[in-house]
Amino acid sequence: MAQLSILNIMRSMVPISRFNKGEASRIFEEVEASGTKIVMKNNQPACVLLSPAQYESLMEMLSDSILYAEAEKRMSANDSSEDMTHEAVMKELGITQEELDEIEVEIE
């Protein structure tokens, strides 16, 4: 995300009166062109406007962070005495490397 500075924050503020004056379309264009806008009502932030792409990016970062925290929690609780090598797992499941080589896998 863009670096936040006092000047950037000031430029991102939009008084709610602009919506009341029918400038919503223009404000949405500004969001698309320059990023996040903070809608001010009674000199207090009322909401934040951002593009769908910015929202999706934030949600992906949040999801990644949650998954990372869960992975860290599981790793710290892992009993390494129960760990198995790749070869041991394949032997236990009765899978050979040749069988794996024959399988085509598509990763998106």
Q: Is the pLDDT of residue 1 over 50?
A: no
With left for phi above 0 and alpha for psi between -120 and 50, is residue 36 left, alpha or beta?
beta
Read off the pLDDT of residues 27-80 as tens digits, 9 standing for 90 and up: 999 999 988 999 999 999 999 999 999 999 999 999 999 999 999 999 998 888
Distance, in Å, from the CA atom of 52 to the CA atom of 94, rounded to the nearest integer, reads 47
Domain boundaries, the chain: 6-50, 54-100
Architecture of domain 6-50: 3-Layer(aba) Sandwich (3.40)
Q: b/e per residue, 22-42, with b = 16+ CB within 10 A? A: eeeeeeeebbeeebbbbbbee
1 burial via Cβ count (<10 Å: 0-12, 13-18, 19+): exposed
Q: In this structure, what DSSP letter does residue 50 have?
A: -
